[in-house]
Structure 1
Amino acid sequence: MLGNFVTGTAVLAPAGMLGELSQGLGVSIRDAGLLITFGAVVLCIGSPLSAWLTSRIDRRLLLTTTLLVLALGNLASALAPNYAVLLALRIAMLAVGALYTPQAAGAVALLVAPEKRGGTMAYVFLGWSLAVALGVPMVAFVAGHFGWREAYGLLGAIGLMSFVLLWARLPGGLRATPVDLSTWAAVGRNRRVLKLLGVSSLQTSGQFVVFTYFGPLLTGLTGAGPAEIGLVFALYGVFGFVGSVIASRIVDGWGSYNTSALFTAFMLAGIAGWTFGAGHFAVMAASVAIWGLGFAAANSMQQVRLLTADPALAGVTVSLNTSVLYVGQAIGSAIGGALFAAGLMHVNGYVSTAVMTCALLAVLFATRETNR
């Protein structure tokens, strides 16, 4: 879970300091946002590729090495002399960082009994909720008060701590089923898995149209300052944490289909509230809290449903799900950046609401054939 916190914060960190990066590096807000877009492109390619290339490596060695690279990458980013170097460091760091989240999910499947995987998976993915609840607000605070270099330095230090703890606590000898070309072919023939992957992509694309530009959008629409922006990030993450805890408690009884539908509906309700309440900070902040209830829990349920869709393919399908999440991040942040650069700040919300409506419909109709 701590490793997912480090990974999630590293992936999302630029969103918490777009203004500081823009000023410090002499680039536009949209260019600073491209750190997320380009990083997501690398992640979406790297996740399935790394699942194939590293399937025979011990999980302890693989996961700890990944965290070490993330830590060193963040420390190096703190010393980047310009935007081009920072972008190159981010791409290199995330090319390796793409390993962590899917392989952590795969390790869970090796560590716990099948009947406990739903709750345990939701718990492990609390790390991403904490990344938004604590990590991104922490980045925003440090960058706003001390500078973006100091924010990257702090991320590097936390990454080193996570590396040491995981090396000390995770047992060795955890090996997944090797991945070969026949495995990928089997995934391509599994319609249920493909539908679930489509849902994941829609959910993430819809969110990142707005999420990537939370700070600039809030400033442009409501005049919010750093404190208010930090509060909104914290609401999103704290309620994401709460939603994940609730999901981990109810999924084994409700089933992952019903739980997924519930939390996707929360996301849609929150994004719609942001859209139609644009210009009113209190309404937008409250809507983000509702939105937050759904984002991490819905993602966890996607992972659970993929694990149960075909346990033999779990190592590949979880990696592919992570990959399509990053595809969604790249698409959503690119659309959001184009709209923001064109001055269409209200349109961001409408586009996000439309895509998330499609995601909920896909959950309700395209994946309803099984109730687990």
Structure 2
Amino acid sequence: MCVIMRKLRQHFSNFFLRLFFGLVFIYVYCEYLIYYVTQAQCAWSSLSKEPIDGVEPVYALVIADTHLLGSRNGDWLDKWRREWQMHRAFQTAITLHRPDVVFVLGDLFDEGKWCSEKEFNDYVERYNKMFHVPESIAMYSIVGNHDIGYHYRITPHLVNRFESGLKSPPVELVSIRGNHFILINSMAMEGDGCSLCSRAVAEIDRISNILKCSSGSSLCKGKTKLQRYSRPIIMQHYPLYRESDSMCTEPDAAPLPERNEMFEERWDCLSKESTEYLVESLHPRAAFGGHTHHSCVVRHSFVPTSNHKIEFVEYTVPSFSWRNRLDPKYYLLTITPDEVKVSKCGMPREWTMQITAILMIIALLVYLKYFGCSVNTSSQSYKYLSGKKV
């Protein structure tokens, strides 16, 4: 009898040990490894032609609308869960893809326009921890309406604390290996002559003149030039002007009937006047924005004069947060002075993680029941009581 009890204790000990390690593996897979499995399927796009002079392309990772929760919206469990997901997904993307530069297209914070000074400082600290990048990777955070408010409620204090905390001026020119990115505060494009708008317009006019001088234009009015000219890429929070998302045909575009709802200028997108001003001043070759939380690709064609046409593609980047969509996305850009290649990368859906966990638990239980440590106690009892070899 003692031998039987010892064998039974060993049997249950093995059972619970295997159950424990099985559950640990399921947790690690669903909370860590699944991000690698999903994101490893996405890669940088190949270039159509070799870069001129053999200069390495710029590899940029673009995300939008992280909407970190504050004290007003969502409970602590929701906040912890969403932030953990974004942190794991972002760090996985950085580890797998190793970009040269990261752009975050606004609405970093969900309650930046309301929060107190202490809450804002907490926001910045959490943001820097969640989206930490190695020193070899540059990172630029562009302001959104949830960070400082829509134009009508922006104050100098809200602007200054974001600019100071995130090192994000209203307009900034960033040049990397002959590729030029113009980072713009969308809310400064109101066109009403406010102090913020005046600062932004003055900087855009200065950059516009640098670009003209660099391209050899006869309209050049100064001596400052870029080392190598290429048409710039606009990075901002708002999309450029469009009537609605009705032309957006991507699988992750806004759902119907929302897709056909008319946009309100200066609220859902830039105004038509500001869009024309930016395009005619900067002659972009591509533009990236966020704000809508959905994907869209728009092919623009502007004809400022009868003998001049400005054509480029605009990409609206879906939200990076599981609070805003079931299938968050980010973009990988392969950029040379002659090309902009885009890859859209998906992250695991939350229901996929849940179903995966359930199926793995069921598989674990089946394994433990039929293959793990099954013991035929009756045959074991017969063996020891009869003294016969089996």
- TM-score normalised by the shorter chain: which range applies? under 0.3
**TM-score between the two structures when normalised by the length of structure 2:** 0.26
- Work out which structure has the larger RCO, using CA pairs closer than 8 Å and 6 or more positions apart in sequence: 1
- The structure with the larger Rg is 2
The answer to which structure has the higher strand fraction is: 2
Please report the TM-score for the alignment, with normalisation by the length of structure 1: 0.27
